[in-house]
Structure 1
Amino acid sequence: MTKLSNLFSWSFSAHADFLACPRRRYWSKYALWNGWQSQASALERTAYRLSKMDNLFSLQGQAVERALLWALRAAQAGRTVDVEQAYAAAAQPFLNQCWSESRQKLWQANPRRHCCLHEHYYAHLHAQPATALIPRIIANTKQCLGHFLDQVLPRLRAIRSAQEIPIAQPGNGPPESFQLDGVKIYAIPDYAYWQDEQMHIHEWKSGQPLAAHSQQITLYGLWAQRQHHLPAHQIQLHLEYLLPGRTFSAVVTEAELLSIQQLVQESVAGMAEYLEGGDLRRNIPLSQEHWELTADQQLCRSCNFYELCQAELES
């Protein structure tokens, strides 16, 4: 079997992790490497397993995406669907399966295949039991689907499969990416299509608006420019906030694309300072102690890697 190399890459989630806590980035990119192999060290195996952990609000977003895509396909096929149908067909089975896998601890045998919920694994770090959150997750999921069906689907039901742009997703080969200064930049839009000589890119959000979301979707605009060789005026971005039922749409500008490119370059340069010799090509991390813990230790209680930092936090 070909040995996998831990190549340097960048994504918006990696950038967010690095800003929030350099140590989290160390665990999620470097300490876990080879943790899936039988000969891995205990630390590598633990870091790899914890990196696969999920939480209920993340599952909510995944459930919403599954259900809205099911509803979109139904509408494109000429069928009328409602919230309860979409929830029962695509969201509920997914949520039930993840909950069951986590409660049964199936992740102990295969953390990549089976869900492990933060609310179960770190129950002592949560103010209330996981079961108390279930009604909220169900209500949020249905509210998101209701807003999608009422406000977003009417804009999309006429889109045909020939107009849709295939997006390479994680788990099905190499995820969608582009190159910038020789660095692989991961950018994975939720949904994209051609209409009236423009590329439309949609990002589904099942929580509340955050300032970083505009940077994230602008990165998708840079992906469209680089990967599909489009000028800015042919790229239209849509942030779909499904929980409050709000949409922000705009044609991206060259200035915005330049700004996000500079953000990526500055972030890459910052990450390089934590590598031996600043060498992105070799991508050998400095030792663990060089990767600082966050100054805001409230973040630690929601981090997947709390177990690995616990002794240091309590010392």
Structure 2
Amino acid sequence: MFEVKPYPELSWSLSRHKTMLSCLRKYAYDYYVSHNGWLRSADTLAKQAYRLKKMTNLEMHFGSVVHDLIYQTIQRVLKNQSVMTEQEFMDEVRHHLNRGFIESTKKEHLWMNRPKHYTMLHEIYYSQTDTLPEAKVRKITDRLQKTVANFHSSKTFTDVRNKEQMKFMESETFRFLKTDEAKVYIVMDLVYKDLDNEKWIIVDWKTGKSSDEDRNQLALYALYLRHEHGIESLDDIIIRNEYLVDGTHVEHLLTEQDLINVQHLYQISMEQMKLYLEDTGKNEPLPIEQFPMQDDPRVCARCNYQELCFPS
């Protein structure tokens, strides 16, 4: 039975860690102030923070739509159902992007009341116009055809269509490792086992550029898979990034030191998070004023919480 609690459960993820490093005030809004903001009985600030937390931007919305359609396509292949052609896939992406634009420009009142169920684009909300920046539109338009074509020709999708030799695990679900301090949340795009070669394969689809953080993310995935399935040798795990914009894939050979590094990162990060707690047992945060604001205007310009930090 769902229980309303005054404070959220303490948890850890790489995205939470990155938010803490980018701006502690945003971290407070994301993980504490917005808690219970979906409830009718929530106070005004919690509702406002929750609503702003659910805002997205054009690049993120594009990535989310593509990820969802890739997941649906793979599920249809595994169930021996017909799948969309590349053109149909692109048309479906455009449909979702157009719907997000319409919801942002014409249905703000619906998003205000049910932010989880409607799209609000940052570019529309804070510009207070009904148009998107032309440069961003061109960027997404250019990415669309490349991304769809490269997915269909990718190494991973070839494996999926050769499904008789593969054993697939449920994907796109929240998984976690339980530590003494907190749950460590992990969301993997696709996990399967190559039965011919006896290799576990973890795939992460990327609709943007490669990042220095990719390796820690993949090491965390490997740590989870090793723990859950008792895999002794890292040689039995293949970690693959599929970069859909340029049509390349990179398979990483992780070492024991990679796993040690990500565990060390977790420990240091948790200690930092605890510095901003009034009560660690309850996960009760310090007052919002004790979470410093970011002083880089370039970071603030991309933030969802501008109206809370700069109400004028």
TM-score, with structure 2 as normaliser: 0.88
Does residue 289 (structure 1) correspond to residue 289 (structure 2)? The answer is yes
SS at match of 2:154: helix
Residue 134 of structure 1 is aligned with which of 119, 132, 137?
137
Q: Taking structure 1 as reference, are residues 80 and 53 closer, same or farther at Cα in structure 2, changes over 3 Å only? A: closer
Which stretch of structure 1 is more off in the superposition, 225-234 or 105-114?
Answer: 225-234
2: CA distance, partners of 1:83 / 1:138: 15
Which stretch of structure 1 is more off in the superposition, 258-267 or 64-73?
Answer: 64-73
Write out per-residue CA displacement over residues 184-240 of structure 1, whole angstroms, 9 at most, x where no aligned residue. Answer: 011001111011322210001101111112211221111112233323222210011
SS at match of 1:130: coil
Q: Does the Cα contact within 8 Å between 1:194 and 1:200 map onto a contact in 2?
A: yes
Q: Does the Cα contact within 8 Å between 2:154 and 2:242 map onto a contact in 1?
A: no
Which stretch of structure 1 is more off in the superposition, 177-186 or 263-272?
Answer: 177-186
Write out per-residue CA displacement over residues 9-51 of structure 1, whole angstroms, 9 at most, x where no aligned residue. Answer: 0111111100001111000011111211222221111101001
The runs of 5 or more residues in structure 2 that have no matched partner are none
TM alignment of 1:13-162, pairs within 5 A: 13-73=15-75, 77=80, 82-88=85-91, 90-103=92-105, 104-105=107-108, 106-123=110-127, 129-130=131-132, 132=134, 133-152=136-155, 153-160=157-164
1: CA distance, partners of 2:162 / 2:214: 27
Q: Does the Cα contact within 8 Å between 1:191 and 1:203 map onto a contact in 2?
A: yes
The match for 2:11 is: 9
Which stretch of structure 1 is more off in the superposition, 159-168 or 53-62?
Answer: 159-168
Aligned amino acid, residue 115 of structure 1: T
Cα displacement (A) at 1:162: 6.9
The match for 2:223 is: 222
Q: Does the Cα contact within 8 Å between 1:63 and 1:92 map onto a contact in 2?
A: no
TM-score, with structure 1 as normaliser: 0.87
Aligned amino acid, residue 120 of structure 1: I
Cα displacement (A) at 1:73: 4.9
1: CA distance, partners of 2:38 / 2:70: 33
Q: Does the Cα contact within 8 Å between 1:33 and 1:48 map onto a contact in 2?
A: yes
Q: Does the Cα contact within 8 Å between 2:177 and 2:224 map onto a contact in 1?
A: yes
Q: Taking structure 1 as reference, are residues 81 and 164 closer, same or farther at Cα in structure 2, changes over 3 Å only? A: same
Which stretch of structure 1 is more off in the superposition, 244-253 or 259-268?
Answer: 244-253
Cα displacement (A) at 1:123: 1.5
Aligned amino acid, residue 309 of structure 1: C
The match for 2:179 is: 180
Cα displacement (A) at 1:268: 0.9
SS at match of 2:41: coil
Write out per-residue CA displacement over residues 132-153 of structure 1, whole angstroms, 9 at most, x where no aligned residue. Answer: 2334323312211111222332
SS at match of 1:3: coil
Aligned amino acid, residue 236 of structure 1: I
SS at match of 2:162: coil
The match for 1:165 is: 169
Q: Does the Cα contact within 8 Å between 2:35 and 2:46 map onto a contact in 1?
A: yes
Q: Taking structure 1 as reference, are residues 284 and 109 closer, same or farther at Cα in structure 2, changes over 3 Å only? A: same
The runs of 5 or more residues in structure 1 that have no matched partner are 170-174
RMSD: 2.4
Write out per-residue CA displacement over residues 232-275 of structure 1, whole angstroms, 9 at most, x where no aligned residue. Answer: 22221001111122211023222111111111111111111111
Q: Does the Cα contact within 8 Å between 1:66 and 1:91 map onto a contact in 2?
A: no
How many residue pairs were aligned?
302
1: CA distance, partners of 2:258 / 2:180: 18
Aligned amino acid, residue 178 of structure 1: L
Q: Taking structure 1 as reference, are residues 111 and 81 closer, same or farther at Cα in structure 2, changes over 3 Å only? A: closer
Does residue 192 (structure 1) correspond to residue 194 (structure 2)? The answer is no
Q: Does the Cα contact within 8 Å between 2:25 and 2:288 map onto a contact in 1?
A: yes
SS at match of 1:202: strand
* Structure 1 runs, 4 residues or longer, greater than 4 Å off: 73-76, 78-82
SS at match of 1:204: strand
Aligned amino acid, residue 238 of structure 2: Q
Cα displacement (A) at 1:112: 1.2
1: CA distance, partners of 2:96 / 2:21: 31
